[in-house]
Amino acid sequence: MRESWRWFGPSDPVTIDDIRQTGATDIVSALQGIPTGEPWSIEAIEKHQALIERFETNLTPLTWSVVESIPVHEDIKLARAGHEQYVDSWIASMENLAHCGIKTICYNFMPLLDWTRTNLAAPVARGGTCLRFDAIRMAAFEIHMLGREHATDDYSPEVCAKAAVWFQQATEDDREALLSAIMAGLPGAFDRYDIAGLREALTQYDGIDRATLRANYKRFLQEVVPSAQDLGMRLCVHPDDPPRDILGLPRIVSDCEDISWIMQAVDTCANGLTLCSGSLGANRQNDVPAIAARFADRIHFAHLRNVRKEPDGSFEEAAHLEGDTDMVALMRVLLVEEARRRDAGRTDHAIPFRPDHGHEILSDIGRDLVPGYPLIGRMRGLAELRGSASALALAPPTNTSSTAMKL
C-alpha cells in the first residue's frame, strides 16, 4: 500500500518537509485557490507539482499521486441550464492532470456541504481534541437557528427535546461557534454563509429529491467517465460525510446499495470508489470491511480513519485502531486486493491510502491547523496503520473468519 498524506498547499502549517519525516511517500493535494468550475491549467498543476516533487540531494522524494479534489460545481449537481460548461472544465482539468502524470482523482457529489461537524475541537479523554458530530446540536441548529421546515422529522423526539434545551441555554458565542463549525465543511475557500445566507443557498435544492440527484449524478458520470477511461484515469467518489440526509439535502453515497448503484451506473474500472472508513463507519448499518470486500476491485484510494458512534446518531473521531470499525480486518481486505491485482499484472496494484482526521495531541494543540488535519495525530495514525499492514503482510491470510473475507 502507498502511504500518502493530505497537503493543503503552501498555506498548510504542516509543510512538505514535515510530511517527508512521517515516512509517507505520496501526497494527496489540490489547487485550492482556483474557483469551482474553472479549469486547472497545465501551468498551475506543474507549479504545484514542483512544490511537492522538488528534487534535493539526500532528501527522499515525494510524489503527488492523488488529487483531492476537483470540486463538482453545484450547477452540475442541479443539472441547471448551461451546466455543460462546468462539465467541460472538469474534463479539461482531468486531461491536464493526466498530461502531468497524475491519474487518480477523489471527488464527491454531496450537495452544498462537503462534510459536517458540530465541534472542531471536542475534548478527548486522554487529552487533546477531535472532530465531533453531535446530533443534539445539529438538531438545535436546523430546528431553532436555521428554522428549517420539517427538520423535526429527521430527529427523534428525545433528540428534539434535548436540542430545545441546548438552544435555550446556549450563549451567542455557543451558537456562533456551532455555525462556524458547520460552515467549515463548505468546499474550497470562497463561500461562507451566515444563517440568512445558508437559508438562501439551501433554496436552490428545493424540489431536488434523492431520485433527481441520482439522475443528475448518473448524467455527470456518463459525461466524464469515458474521458477518464481514455486517459487512463481513476475516478473515485468519496462517500457522504455524514452518511445521512442533512439540512434537508439528499445524500446518495451513504451505504452499500448506493455504492452498487454508482458502480453499475457506468460499469467500468475508471468509475471507482474512495473507501472512506470513517464516513461509511458513521452509518450504523454499514459493515465497512464487508463493503470494501464487495467493491475491492473498484477501490482506487482509501481514507483510513475510525469513528465511535452513539445511540442518538452522534459520532466522533476515534484513534485509528480504537473505533467501531475493525481496521485490521479492513486493511486485510485491501492487502488481499493488492495481491490479486499484482497477480493479474495490474500496474495500479498498490492502493494509496492516507491516515485521516487524527486527534490533535501534543504539539498539535494550540497550532492554527486545518480542522481534522494535525501533524502528530495523523502521524500516530500512520504509524498504527503501517504497523498493522506490516504484520498482516508477514502472514497473508488464506482462510479467515472475517466477515469481509467471506464475501
Q: Which residue numbers are catalytic? A: 238, 276, 303, 356-357, 373
C-alpha cell at 81: 441550464
Query: Which residue is associated with the grid cell 465511535?
Result: 308
Do 348 and 329 meet the contact criterion of CB atoms below 8 Å apart? no
CA-based torsion, 340, 259, 110, 287: positive or negative: negative
Do 224 and 97 meet the contact criterion of CB atoms below 8 Å apart? no
Instruction: Please provide the DSSP assignment of 327-389 as one string.
Output: HHHHHHHHHHHHHHHHHTT-TT-SPEEEE-S--B-GGGTTS-PPTT--SHHHHHHHHHHHHHH
Query: Which residue is associated with the grid cell 510530511?
Result: 19
Do 191 and 74 meet the contact criterion of CB atoms below 8 Å apart? no
Q: Measured between alpha carbons, how far is 151 from 147 in angstroms, rounded to an integer?
A: 8
Do 304 and 355 meet the contact criterion of CB atoms below 8 Å apart? yes
Do 403 and 286 meet the contact criterion of CB atoms below 8 Å apart? no
Do 330 and 277 meet the contact criterion of CB atoms below 8 Å apart? yes
- Asked, as a colleague might, if the bond just before 69 is cis with ω within 30 of 0, I would say yes
Helix (H) or strand (E) holding 50, with range, is helix 42-53
C-alpha cell at 402: 472475517
C-alpha cell at 32: 485550492
C-alpha cell at 397: 491470510
Do 303 and 353 meet the contact criterion of CB atoms below 8 Å apart? yes
Beta-sheet pairing, 315-318 with 129-133: antiparallel
304 forms beta bridges with 355
* 3 state SS of 207: coil
